[in-house]
Structure 1
């Protein structure tokens, strides 16, 4: 049974900060989590006694950001290392894993941006939704070859992360069109395609900010191609269920709502991974066969059997 009392005050505070972050992209949150774990493991003494509470540290991270598959993959990799009983100094093995993640994260994002910009090299107008550091990097890379690139961004209620995307791209010199979510129908015919981020990709669905499903449907109705820009660490098998998203503060959508008005505030939704939706990763286009092979070969840690 997960117990917050068995997490150090520094780590608990870091997880609370991550839980409150509803504006950063998944990639940015991932790096913050890796750095926190790296600092924590580095502060521990050698030997198994210092590591006895590691399941609680990982549980706390997953409770903080329950929808982000990269964190689940990170926890799975760490758990496998800690469960195997080898090497003699498991703390050093964990530090090696975390250092590798910090070292390779920038290059993976750069490669992903290159592959995505090549895939949309013929596009002059792109539509996206909310904020994604991966999509932003891809669009900025695409601009180097296409100075006339224009990006159409919907605001992404309730937290309006689309504004952050608009600000970042505008500061990079990209022409931005910004509008409320339900205005996308006015602009979809004018764009060449849709570029999206993701927090999780499973066999038949992907998870992204709420409002994505209607944009994907709209793109399908108008025959517009859709690409997801995602590192492979966002792939997570559906047989290992993620925690359900809890509803968020109702005041975020309507402060002081009248009596008898029930407010439902969610940030994420599942979108069908329909045929024709391309997935662009640090390794290039992820084919359906490659995605199926990834899940077939996935090795889960025993850690998942004991989650409560």
Structure 2
């Protein structure tokens, strides 16, 4: 059921934004086959509710918002001309198209990004990003010999998953604690990070990423952000507050007079990165605002999101 997928998406604090957006695609596909509506207007209202629920399930992952917005925008546009059955099929097709494009985007990002990996490179990365994994695996497939320094990314340890995937691909990995970044940064020749969203002047990623960016500046090593174009979102409609996780993920018992906080994401200036590696090519931070302005918005979706 699509409601089960929604709950799965809501509770997923380990997967990258690209993987979660593809789960959201599955929710739309399942919805289009399960939902019952007596009119096109009722169908759109139910589709809108799913889009809003998905946007709030992972509010800091722009690709989920962009998927929901894209489907709702075009369904609303076609509401007067398509039959109810055609709207079901159109929703399914748009979600499957988004998923296909996402997977295809990974291949393009990998092909473009692997040129940054040179023989003997030492790549420092943080958290777990499908784009970064694709780039590093592609470089390995091209026969390059290099090493990766992966931070474990507390408290959910998704960096350990990345290290496992890289190790299984035959890539040499050094897994370190997040606090040890400063010790190993001086060895790195390249810094690579993913992003959950990119706006006009900033990007959002797992807490700890900014520390890595500061270290890249200190050691004068290039830093690149890699992500799909579908993660671009305007500051004007991106969720501002950062998500906070369960304090028990950090400390599962109470201490007298001690407050535990567990932020998941942070906002980082794009000025730290040399380029953004996307499926549409290498983009400079200056290129991004113009691309974001081209996004068409579903007004009803925006009305719902602004009310919260």
TM-score, normalised to structure 2's length? Answer: 0.91
**1:72 maps to which of 58, 65, 71:** 65
Please show how residues 1-308 of structure 1 align to structure 2 within 5 Å.
Answer: 10-44=1-35, 47-48=39-40, 49-84=42-77, 85-89=79-83, 90-121=87-118, 124-242=121-239, 244-274=241-271, 276-302=273-299, 303-307=301-305, 308=307
SS of alignment partner, residue 185 of structure 1:
helix
Indicate the larger mover: 227-236 or 250-259.
Answer: 250-259
More displaced, 157-166 or 139-148?
Answer: 139-148
Q: 1:156 aligns to what SS in structure 2?
A: coil
For structure 1, list consecutive stretches of 5 or more residues without a partner in the other structure.
1-9
Q: CA deviation at 1:56?
A: 1.3
- Alignment partners' CA distance in 2, 1:92 and 1:11: 16
Deviations for 1:193-218, whole angstroms, at most 9, x for unmatched residues?
A: 10100000001110011100011011
The Cα shift of 1:221 comes to 0.8
What TM-score, normalized to structure 1? 0.91
**How far apart, in 1, do the equivalents of 2:285 and 2:208 lie?**
24
Provide the secondary structure at the position in 1 that maps to 2:154.
Answer: coil
Q: Give the Cα separation in 2 of the matches to 1:244 and 1:57.
A: 22
For structure 2, list consecutive stretches of 5 or more residues without a partner in the other structure.
none
The 10-residue stretch of structure 1 (249-258 or 80-89) with the greater mean CA deviation from structure 2:
80-89
Report the count of equivalent residues. Answer: 299
Structure 1 segments of 4 or more deviating over 6 A? none
Q: RMSD of the TM alignment (CA)?
A: 1.7
- Please state how far the C-alpha of 1:289 moved relative to its aligned partner: 4.3
Does structure 2 conserve the Cα–Cα contact (< 8 Å) formed by 1:203 and 1:237? yes
Q: Which moved more, 1:101-110 or 1:66-75?
A: 101-110
Taking a change above 3 Å as real, the CA distance of residues 43 and 21 of structure 1, as seen in their structure-2 partners, is same
Give the distance between the partners of 1:124 and 1:205, measured in 2 at CA.
27
